[in-house]
Each structure stands twice: as C-alpha cells, then as structure tokens.
Amino acid sequence: MSGLTIVEATGIRKEFPNMTAPVLDDVSVHVESGEIIALMGPSGSGKSTLMNILGCLDGPTRGSYSLGGRDVSTLTPRERAWVRLHYIGFVFQSFHLIADHTVLENVTLPLYYAGLDRNEREARAVELIERVGLGHRLGHRPSQLSGGEKQRVAIARAVSGQPRLLLADEPTGALDTKTGNEVMELLLELHEARALTLIIVTHDPEVAEFCHRKVFLRDGKVISDGRRHAAHA
C-alpha cells in the first residue's frame, strides 16, 4: 500500500426528487491507494447510490469528493465522463456486456473512446482477454459464454483503460460460489499486478473476507468503516 489517498469523500448527502429522506446522509469514505474495501449493508441502504457517486456516474447533492487529489464533486456530466474513462473501471452483477459485440469488441470499445488506434486497441484487448483466461473466446458473443466467463470479460473491459480505481457492485452476485471465488481471485490478481484500488459491494461474507476492511452502510449512513481511527476523529 502506498499510503496515498485515492478516495476522500466527506459529508456526502444524496437526495432524489420526491423522496422525503436522503438516500445518503453525511457519508464519509476515505480510501488509500491499493486498499481493497468491502462495502456492505442491507438492501436499500445506499450502497449502489454511493458507488455511483464514487464512480463519478452521479454527483452528490451536498458534500465534497476528491479523487486522486482532484475535486470531482462539482464537475459537469461531461467532465465526469472524462474522469471515468481515464480513472475508473466498473464491474456489475449483471455484467453489462454489449450483446451483439464479440468478446474482443466489448473489451476494445472503451479503448476506442480513449482514442487508441486500432492496432493498439486490439493488442491491449487481446492481451487482457488472454490474461483473464479467455483467449480462445475472442469471437464469441456474450450469449455464448457462461456467467463466470461473462464476468471475466467484464473485468477485462473494466481494466482496459488502466484505471486506478475499480468499483465492483456485487460482482459475484449472479454466480455460484466456486465461480464467484474464481472471479474474486482474478480481481485480487489484478489488484496485485496493477496496483489497483478496489471497492466491492457484496452481501457475501466470504467475498468480504478477501478484502482489507469493511465499510457498513445502514439507512444511508456509515455505521462502521473498519479503520483504526474513527471516521471523524
């Protein structure tokens, strides 16, 4: 662990129109570069909402968020898209692969948006697809893959832009235990090899055991964050 702060979110509040109570209320999250965090809590406690803010998919109603030392809480949607492209990878429970694209096309797509030329895109994508053990599936479409294979493609895509922060929202939620463990092992290998910081939403205590610490949300508040010092010390 480098000891550098990557995520510094303070006093995050998130309100949605027509909702009486805020979905996130004074949430603070501090993550050092290289940490692996399990984000846990009951259904509806605000985990995905927080991930959307940490991933710059959405902005907070109130509060500050600095990512890698840069204030990202007040960016326009366009600026947030730039930060996502260059800084953040996402993995979702339901994979979110493009159905009519091949494995290779799914993994090269973000590299196209990042402006790499065709040869660079394909070379990097093939290397990653081989890295996740699917070099023999380059031309397959998602419907021709198992759940574990789909998630490995999604992970290859998520890290193709060489993000520093990888956000995974229940990455093993749709997989059986054995396949889920394989996906977790892949995430841990990538963490090791690429100095990634990982934040993983999970309901699964086994998955959480792989993580360095657990942040628990309840009713939109952090009730414990596993740090040695209290969040507001």
Q: Which is nearer to ligand ATP, 49 or 160 (CB)?
A: 49
Copy the structure tokens of residue 24: 């996130």
Please pick, from the candidates 31, 34, 48, 154, the single residue that binds ligand ATP as defined by CB under 6 A: 48
End-to-end Cα distance, the chain: 22
By a kind-dependent CB cut-off of 5 to 8 A, residue 19 interacts, out of Mg ion, ligand ATP, none, with: ligand ATP
Residues lying near Mg ion in the complex (CB under 5 A): 48
Give the footprint of ligand ATP on residues 179-198 (CB under 6 A): none
For ligand ATP (CB under 6 A), the number of binding residues is: 11
Q: Of 16-24, 67-75, 80-88, 111-119, which segment contacts ligand ATP by CB under 6 A?
A: 16-24
CB 165 within 8 A of CB 88: yes
Quick check: 19 binds ligand ATP (CB under 6 A)? Answer: yes
Considering the complex, what minimum distance in angstroms separates the CB of residue 171 from ligand ATP? 13
Quick check: 46 binds ligand ATP (CB under 6 A)? Answer: yes
Quick check: 47 binds ligand ATP (CB under 6 A)? Answer: yes
d(CA 25, CA 57): 18
CB 153 within 8 A of CB 107: yes
Triad 47, 37, 202: Cα angle to 5°: 45
Considering the complex, what minimum distance in angstroms separates the CB of residue 189 from ligand ATP? 26
Q: Of 44-52, 100-108, 109-117, 178-186, which segment contacts ligand ATP by CB under 6 A?
A: 44-52
d(CA 152, CA 134): 8
Run of H or E residues at 67: strand 62-67
Which residue's entry shows tokens 């995520």?
7
- What does 168-204 look like in DSSP terms, one character per residue? EESTTTTS-HHHHHHHHHHHHHHHHHHT-EEEEE-S-
Considering the complex, what minimum distance in angstroms separates the CB of residue 146 from ligand ATP? 23
Quick check: 119 binds ligand ATP (CB under 6 A)? Answer: no
The residues that touch ligand ATP, with contacts defined as CB under 6 A, are 16, 19, 23, 41, 43-49
